[in-house]
Structure 1
Amino acid sequence: MTTQAWDLDADLAALDAAHLLRKRRVVERYDGARLTVDGRAMLAFCSNDYLGLAQHPAIVAAARDGAARWGLGATASPLVCGHSAAHEALERELAAFVGMPRALYFYAGFPANVGIVPALVGRGDAVFSDALNHACLIDGARLSRAELGVYAHADVAALGRLLAASPARRKLVITDAVFSMDGAIAPLREMLELCEEHDALLLIDDAHGFGVLGPEGRGTAAMLGLRSPHLVYMATLGKAAGVAGAFVAGEASTVEWIMQRARSYIFATAAPALIAEALRASVKVIAEESWRREHLQALVARLREGCARALPAGWRLVPSSTPIQPIVIGDNATTLAAMAALWQQGLWVPAIRPPTVPEGTARLRVSLSAAHSLDDVDRLIRALAALAG
């Protein structure tokens, strides 16, 4: 489209010149960590399928059986007739799994946070956000119209000062539990203590911790032993759980209020019941197949050991104990060139650039999955070493 006011071709060209233009690949076949893309076999280190459950036979069978019982579409929003017995059972099981009184299922993670934050705070209230929070938390804070305070990444002291200085009646702190672009875990215990001291709620987004961290994969809050009426727990179910959707859990009255007020829940058609049935099977697999988390930790250790001696000069592997293992390169063009060189070797490792990450910190985001083998990781390490010349 090109007019005097809408010269989008020029805008797109400017994005391309800054090495910020995104391109989609068409995946033709999934087979664990092995994908067929444009007719080419690729070993993928770009998926958030951390436990390798997206094609698990028991979960696929549950979806198939769910489709046979319930059909496809949910036909309406959850507050009309879209909330099935399968959704109801899933919510009970998710609440029990994370050890909280009640849970509410959303059709996707982004709209969950965009709905939860404005449901909890509004004009005259205050919301405090980590500087590196995911876009859905940021957008939720903006839509809430509450006073917004941004604190430096993981800076508990700065958060404490903001909370102490705020005269707002209701205060909400929002944070990723595991930050998606660097794999770091937020200082949640200290943050929860601050929230209890200042009568604030703490909303944590555990998209990258649920299923991976904690006893039986029950998440970051369970790993840290966090329990409090001030805690609101959200996690997505399209990553480690291998299916789709998200949920929020917490005190029964808090979850009921979110159900009554979250526009992205009230005004959207519910996810199909077959997805709920698949997720019920997924939660069981997460709890029972602990070898997947054990294998993941072995993969993380193998990659970190290999990168310590293999990375080109100036490249930095970010400290992380999670399946997210970013390699910071810095320059956008160099990072894209590294991605392209790995692609030529049959390895799909995405280049992450601003605005997803801060300027000057473009990186290769290596995502490990239980579907990978140690040999797969060794292959990636050899390819990275070859880039050093």
Structure 2
Amino acid sequence: MRDLNTELTRLHQAGLYRQRRIMANAAGVYGHADGREVLAFCSNDYLGLANHPEVVKALQAGAERWGLGSGAAHLVNGHTTAHHALEAELAAFTNRPRALLFSTGYMTNLGVIAALCGRGDHVFEDRLNHASLLDGGLLSQARLQRYAHGDGAALDGKLAQRTTGEKLVVTDGVFSMDGDLAPLPQLAATAKRHDAWLMVDDAHGFGVLGANGGGTAEHFGLGMDALPILVGTLGKAFGSFGAFVAGSDALIEFLIQKARPYIYTTALPPAVAEATRVSLKLLQTDTWRREKLQSLIQRFRRGAEELGLTLMQSQTPIQPLLIGDNDKAVALSQALLKQGILVSAIRPPTVPEGGARLRITLSAAHREVDVDQLLTVLEMVA
């Protein structure tokens, strides 16, 4: 048997040990972590919708009508009119014929990739893809090849070497740890040239990018022909929970038949679907949230530049402060916490070796004074 205590000690010594913080407040930028009052810059609630009164009211009304759990998987008797309506609205939102709800983003990626590819097929993934995308490639048992981050030419070369089997190109739309965008127009053209599928997980793009919050597809003006498989999660800018994939009628029908994480999982609570329908409307109509968010991003980047801090090339709410050393990243996170600022230290394997960082994320729920406070404390401790 493995000596787990020895392995835990090794993680401590390498600066890789992870600990949960106990939050004593509803989702938001102001709260209490481990009994300490904090101003948080580490949430993915980019538009501040997770605790929006209208969303909460819809959840309460949904619970009164539907109860708590859905009771069964979608293909048994757990698929309600609430789920069906949300799928139709997500399809319209993404300009695709259909959408399919999953219980989590991780399950969506596992399910889609493993359903479309198997032995003898080929999956090509960006080197910095989210773990769920990489795990989906491994689960499929197809040959998984990783190309250099954001490098369409490298992808082209790998695709050219494969002349048999299905070919699936998989990428994040916005990379969750760097905050940069995948070069989707180039990747779409490359995939089409080699008769390959293109799948984009736009978990961190929806709500943030595009005039209507349509994410990287809207940002780049890509339709279903260029981007046939579009995945989104509902627990970030939507402020809800769950995930979906949008695409052609044939794609969705095939996934209903073949995606095991969809078939064999209890459906999302209907009340959550009802709440998400409201957050989807707010995400599209409250354009001021995106405008405010972009203003805060620029304010933070200007201030960080004046302080000489090393930021990465990101124009999204994800603003990583690169540290490098694991212990230093943890120490800086702890120093910020002592000053009432909550920012997580991100270390390998979430990021490459030597890439430890503070993952600072901004929300439309922040105020300018909050960003200024963060900059003041960063100047003090960094």
Q: Fold-level match, TM-score > 0.5? A: yes
Matched, 1:318 2:281: no
Distance in 2 (CA, whole Å) between partners of 1:82 and 1:41 is: 40
8 Å Cα contact 2:211/2:287 also seen in 1: no
Amino acid at match of 2:232: A
SS at match of 2:25: strand
Distance in 2 (CA, whole Å) between partners of 1:35 and 1:7 is: 38
Amino acid at match of 1:306: G
1:155 counterpart residue number: 151
Aligned residue runs from structure 1 range 318-337, under 5 A: 318-337=312-331
SS at match of 1:191: helix
Q: What do the CA deviations read for 1:289-319 (whole angstroms, capped 9, x no partner)?
A: 11100000010001000000224xxx51001
Structure 1 residue runs of 5 or longer lacking an equivalent are: none
Amino acid at match of 1:326: P
Give the paired residue count.
Answer: 381
Distance in 2 (CA, whole Å) between partners of 1:343 and 1:253 is: 50
1:286 counterpart residue number: 283
Distance in 1 (CA, whole Å) between partners of 2:368 and 2:211 is: 24
8 Å Cα contact 2:47/2:289 also seen in 1: yes
Distance in 1 (CA, whole Å) between partners of 2:144 and 2:95 is: 30
Q: What is the CA-CA distance between 1:255 and the residue it aligns to?
A: 1.3
2:369 counterpart residue number: 375
1:80 counterpart residue number: 76
Matched, 1:240 2:240: no
Distance in 2 (CA, whole Å) between partners of 1:84 and 1:207 is: 24
2:295 counterpart residue number: 298
Amino acid at match of 1:10: T
Distance in 2 (CA, whole Å) between partners of 1:234 and 1:262 is: 14
1:69 counterpart residue number: 65
Aligned residue runs from structure 1 range 1-389, under 5 A: 5-30=1-26, 32-229=28-225, 231-311=228-308, 315-388=309-382
Distance in 2 (CA, whole Å) between partners of 1:286 and 1:223 is: 15
Amino acid at match of 2:281: K
Distance in 1 (CA, whole Å) between partners of 2:181 and 2:237 is: 16
8 Å Cα contact 2:27/2:50 also seen in 1: no
Distance in 2 (CA, whole Å) between partners of 1:288 and 1:7 is: 54
Distance in 2 (CA, whole Å) between partners of 1:31 and 1:130 is: 31
SS at match of 2:315: coil
Q: What do the CA deviations read for 1:308-350 (whole angstroms, capped 9, x no partner)?
A: 0224xxx510011100000001111111111011000000011
Distance in 2 (CA, whole Å) between partners of 1:137 and 1:159 is: 16
Q: What is the CA-CA distance between 1:32 and the residue it aligns to?
A: 2.2
SS at match of 1:29: coil
Change (3 A) 1:176 1:272: same
Q: What is the CA-CA distance between 1:94 and the residue it aligns to?
A: 0.1
TM-score of the superposed pair, with normalisation by structure 2? 0.98
Amino acid at match of 1:134: H
Q: What is the CA-CA distance between 1:38 and the residue it aligns to?
A: 2.4
8 Å Cα contact 1:178/1:185 also seen in 2: yes
SS at match of 1:215: coil
Q: What is the CA-CA distance between 1:281 and the residue it aligns to?
A: 0.5
Distance in 1 (CA, whole Å) between partners of 2:164 and 2:201 is: 23
SS at match of 1:372: coil
Identity of aligned residues (%): 53
Structure 2 residue runs of 5 or longer lacking an equivalent are: none
RMSD of the TM alignment (CA)? 1.0
Distance in 2 (CA, whole Å) between partners of 1:351 and 1:236 is: 23
Distance in 2 (CA, whole Å) between partners of 1:317 and 1:10 is: 36
Moved more, 362-371 or 253-262: 253-262
SS at match of 2:24: strand
Q: What is the CA-CA distance between 1:387 and the residue it aligns to?
A: 2.1
Regions of 4+ moved over 4 Å: none
8 Å Cα contact 1:192/1:231 also seen in 2: no
Distance in 2 (CA, whole Å) between partners of 1:245 and 1:308 is: 36
TM-score of the superposed pair, with normalisation by structure 1? 0.96
SS at match of 1:303: helix
Distance in 2 (CA, whole Å) between partners of 1:343 and 1:304 is: 21
Amino acid at match of 1:322: T
Q: What is the CA-CA distance between 1:39 and the residue it aligns to?
A: 2.2
8 Å Cα contact 1:127/1:174 also seen in 2: yes
8 Å Cα contact 1:208/1:239 also seen in 2: yes
Q: What is the CA-CA distance between 1:275 and the residue it aligns to?
A: 0.6
Q: What is the CA-CA distance between 1:31 and the residue it aligns to?
A: 5.8
